[in-house]
Amino acid sequence: MRQIFGGINLRTVLSLIVVFSVGCASAGSNARLSSMIDVELETNTLKREEHIKLGRFSLSVVRGLARLAGEDFDDDESGIVKSLRSVEISTYSIEPPLVEGQDFPIGQVEKSLSTRGWTRVVTSHEDGGEVMLLTRAGHNGKIDGIFVLSADRNEVEMVQIEGPLDEAITDAIAEDSDFVKGLFGS
Protein backbone atom coordinates (compact mmCIF):
# COMPACT_ATOMS: atom_id res chain seq x y z
CA MET A 1 0.00 0.00 0.00
CA ARG A 2 1.25 3.46 -0.88
CA GLN A 3 2.41 5.53 2.12
CA ILE A 4 1.37 9.19 2.40
CA PHE A 5 1.22 11.81 5.16
CA GLY A 6 4.32 10.70 7.07
CA GLY A 7 3.88 6.95 6.72
CA ILE A 8 0.09 6.62 6.98
CA ASN A 9 -1.36 4.72 4.05
CA LEU A 10 -4.09 6.01 1.74
CA ARG A 11 -6.67 3.45 2.92
CA THR A 12 -6.29 4.70 6.51
CA VAL A 13 -6.77 8.32 5.46
CA LEU A 14 -9.88 7.48 3.41
CA SER A 15 -11.29 5.41 6.29
CA LEU A 16 -10.85 8.31 8.68
CA ILE A 17 -12.58 10.70 6.30
CA VAL A 18 -15.57 8.34 5.96
CA VAL A 19 -15.79 7.66 9.71
CA PHE A 20 -15.71 11.28 10.74
CA SER A 21 -18.01 12.53 7.98
CA VAL A 22 -20.62 9.88 8.84
CA GLY A 23 -20.25 10.43 12.59
CA CYS A 24 -20.65 14.19 12.34
CA ALA A 25 -23.73 13.96 10.16
CA SER A 26 -25.72 11.80 12.56
CA ALA A 27 -27.94 13.53 15.09
CA GLY A 28 -28.12 11.63 18.34
CA SER A 29 -30.28 11.78 21.42
CA ASN A 30 -29.12 15.32 22.23
CA ALA A 31 -30.83 16.46 19.02
CA ARG A 32 -34.12 14.86 20.11
CA LEU A 33 -33.85 16.49 23.53
CA SER A 34 -33.10 19.88 21.99
CA SER A 35 -36.32 19.60 19.93
CA MET A 36 -38.29 19.08 23.13
CA ILE A 37 -36.54 22.06 24.78
CA ASP A 38 -37.37 24.18 21.71
CA VAL A 39 -41.07 23.48 22.24
CA GLU A 40 -40.85 24.28 25.97
CA LEU A 41 -39.06 27.60 25.38
CA GLU A 42 -42.01 28.81 23.26
CA THR A 43 -40.68 32.26 22.23
CA ASN A 44 -37.00 31.25 21.99
CA THR A 45 -35.27 28.73 19.76
CA LEU A 46 -32.16 26.65 20.05
CA LYS A 47 -29.58 27.00 17.30
CA ARG A 48 -27.05 24.18 17.12
CA GLU A 49 -23.52 25.54 17.29
CA GLU A 50 -21.45 22.38 17.78
CA HIS A 51 -22.22 18.67 17.75
CA ILE A 52 -20.09 15.57 17.82
CA LYS A 53 -21.10 11.99 18.43
CA LEU A 54 -18.54 9.24 18.59
CA GLY A 55 -19.65 5.61 18.65
CA ARG A 56 -17.52 2.53 19.34
CA PHE A 57 -15.80 2.58 15.96
CA SER A 58 -15.08 6.32 16.02
CA LEU A 59 -13.78 6.03 19.59
CA SER A 60 -11.42 3.23 18.53
CA VAL A 61 -10.12 5.48 15.74
CA VAL A 62 -9.54 8.27 18.28
CA ARG A 63 -7.63 5.83 20.53
CA GLY A 64 -5.53 4.80 17.53
CA LEU A 65 -4.78 8.41 16.62
CA ALA A 66 -3.80 9.12 20.23
CA ARG A 67 -1.36 6.20 20.10
CA LEU A 68 0.06 7.50 16.80
CA ALA A 69 0.59 10.85 18.48
CA GLY A 70 2.54 9.13 21.23
CA GLU A 71 -0.17 9.30 23.89
CA ASP A 72 -0.05 6.15 26.03
CA PHE A 73 -2.88 5.20 28.36
CA ASP A 74 -2.12 3.41 31.60
CA ASP A 75 -4.02 0.17 32.27
CA ASP A 76 -6.90 1.87 34.12
CA GLU A 77 -7.38 4.58 31.50
CA SER A 78 -7.13 2.07 28.68
CA GLY A 79 -9.85 -0.11 30.19
CA ILE A 80 -12.20 2.82 30.69
CA VAL A 81 -11.65 4.23 27.21
CA LYS A 82 -12.07 0.80 25.58
CA SER A 83 -15.36 0.18 27.40
CA LEU A 84 -17.06 3.41 26.28
CA ARG A 85 -19.87 2.89 23.78
CA SER A 86 -20.47 6.51 22.84
CA VAL A 87 -19.65 10.10 23.66
CA GLU A 88 -21.94 12.88 22.47
CA ILE A 89 -21.34 16.60 22.99
CA SER A 90 -23.66 19.37 21.79
CA THR A 91 -23.72 23.14 22.20
CA TYR A 92 -26.76 25.26 21.32
CA SER A 93 -27.23 29.01 21.48
CA ILE A 94 -30.58 30.31 22.75
CA GLU A 95 -32.02 32.90 20.37
CA PRO A 96 -32.98 35.40 21.49
CA PRO A 97 -31.29 34.92 24.90
CA LEU A 98 -33.57 34.31 27.87
CA VAL A 99 -34.68 37.51 29.60
CA GLU A 100 -34.57 38.21 33.33
CA GLY A 101 -37.23 36.10 35.05
CA GLN A 102 -37.55 33.66 32.14
CA ASP A 103 -36.58 30.19 33.34
CA PHE A 104 -34.88 27.47 31.38
CA PRO A 105 -37.19 24.40 31.40
CA ILE A 106 -34.79 22.18 33.36
CA GLY A 107 -37.69 20.40 35.09
CA GLN A 108 -39.12 19.35 31.73
CA VAL A 109 -35.70 18.13 30.58
CA GLU A 110 -35.39 16.01 33.72
CA LYS A 111 -38.90 14.63 33.24
CA SER A 112 -38.15 13.70 29.63
CA LEU A 113 -34.88 12.00 30.56
CA SER A 114 -36.44 10.14 33.52
CA THR A 115 -38.84 8.40 31.14
CA ARG A 116 -35.74 6.98 29.44
CA GLY A 117 -34.15 5.67 32.64
CA TRP A 118 -32.07 8.67 33.70
CA THR A 119 -31.96 9.72 37.37
CA ARG A 120 -30.94 13.18 38.58
CA VAL A 121 -27.95 13.08 40.89
CA VAL A 122 -27.46 16.79 41.44
CA THR A 123 -28.66 20.16 40.18
CA SER A 124 -26.69 23.33 40.75
CA HIS A 125 -27.92 26.91 40.29
CA GLU A 126 -25.00 29.31 40.08
CA ASP A 127 -24.03 32.49 38.25
CA GLY A 128 -27.35 32.77 36.43
CA GLY A 129 -27.13 29.24 35.05
CA GLU A 130 -28.12 25.71 35.90
CA VAL A 131 -26.17 22.48 35.73
CA MET A 132 -27.81 19.08 36.05
CA LEU A 133 -26.03 15.73 36.33
CA LEU A 134 -27.96 12.56 35.66
CA THR A 135 -26.91 8.91 35.60
CA ARG A 136 -28.48 5.79 34.12
CA ALA A 137 -28.06 2.30 35.52
CA GLY A 138 -27.44 -0.68 33.26
CA HIS A 139 -29.00 -4.12 33.58
CA ASN A 140 -26.43 -4.99 36.28
CA GLY A 141 -27.43 -1.99 38.41
CA LYS A 142 -24.12 -0.19 37.86
CA ILE A 143 -23.75 3.24 36.26
CA ASP A 144 -23.93 2.82 32.51
CA GLY A 145 -24.29 6.44 31.44
CA ILE A 146 -23.74 10.02 32.51
CA PHE A 147 -25.62 13.02 31.14
CA VAL A 148 -24.65 16.61 31.98
CA LEU A 149 -26.76 19.58 30.95
CA SER A 150 -25.53 23.13 31.52
CA ALA A 151 -27.78 26.06 30.64
CA ASP A 152 -27.66 29.79 31.07
CA ARG A 153 -29.46 32.69 29.35
CA ASN A 154 -27.39 32.37 26.17
CA GLU A 155 -26.58 28.70 25.61
CA VAL A 156 -27.19 25.07 26.45
CA GLU A 157 -24.48 22.42 26.55
CA MET A 158 -25.15 18.69 26.72
CA VAL A 159 -22.65 15.90 27.30
CA GLN A 160 -23.65 12.25 27.25
CA ILE A 161 -21.21 9.40 27.92
CA GLU A 162 -22.34 5.79 27.66
CA GLY A 163 -20.50 2.73 28.89
CA PRO A 164 -19.71 1.05 32.21
CA LEU A 165 -18.60 4.00 34.33
CA ASP A 166 -18.85 2.79 37.97
CA GLU A 167 -15.15 2.04 38.31
CA ALA A 168 -14.11 5.23 36.52
CA ILE A 169 -16.17 7.37 38.90
CA THR A 170 -14.95 5.51 41.98
CA ASP A 171 -11.32 5.85 40.89
CA ALA A 172 -11.71 9.56 40.10
CA ILE A 173 -13.18 10.26 43.53
CA ALA A 174 -10.50 8.17 45.25
CA GLU A 175 -7.76 10.10 43.45
CA ASP A 176 -9.24 13.51 44.30
CA SER A 177 -9.93 13.54 48.03
CA ASP A 178 -10.39 17.34 47.94
CA PHE A 179 -13.42 16.78 45.69
CA VAL A 180 -15.01 14.46 48.28
CA LYS A 181 -14.19 16.88 51.11
CA GLY A 182 -15.83 19.67 49.14
CA LEU A 183 -18.99 17.63 48.66
CA PHE A 184 -19.39 16.90 52.35
CA GLY A 185 -17.96 20.13 53.73
CA SER A 186 -15.09 18.37 55.54
| Containing structural domain, residue 143 | 3-184
User: Over 60: is that where the pLDDT of 70 sits?
Assistant: yes
Question: Number of structural domains, the chain?
Answer: 1
Q: How many Å apart are CA 146 and CA 84, to the nearest integer?
A: 11
Q: How far apart are CA 159 and CA 15, in angstroms?
A: 26
pLDDT reported for residue 63? 73
DSSP code of residue 87: E
Q: What is the mean pLDDT of residues 59-71?
A: 73
Residues 6-13: what's their mean pLDDT? Answer: 52
pTM: 0.71
Q: What whole-number distance in Å separates Cα of residue 149 and Cα of residue 104?
A: 11
pLDDT one-digit tens code per residue, 74-126: 655 555 667 788 889 999 999 999 988 888 898 888 998 998 889 999 888 87
The answer to whether 52 and 89 have CB atoms below 8 angstroms apart is: yes
At position 82, the amino acid (one-letter code) is K
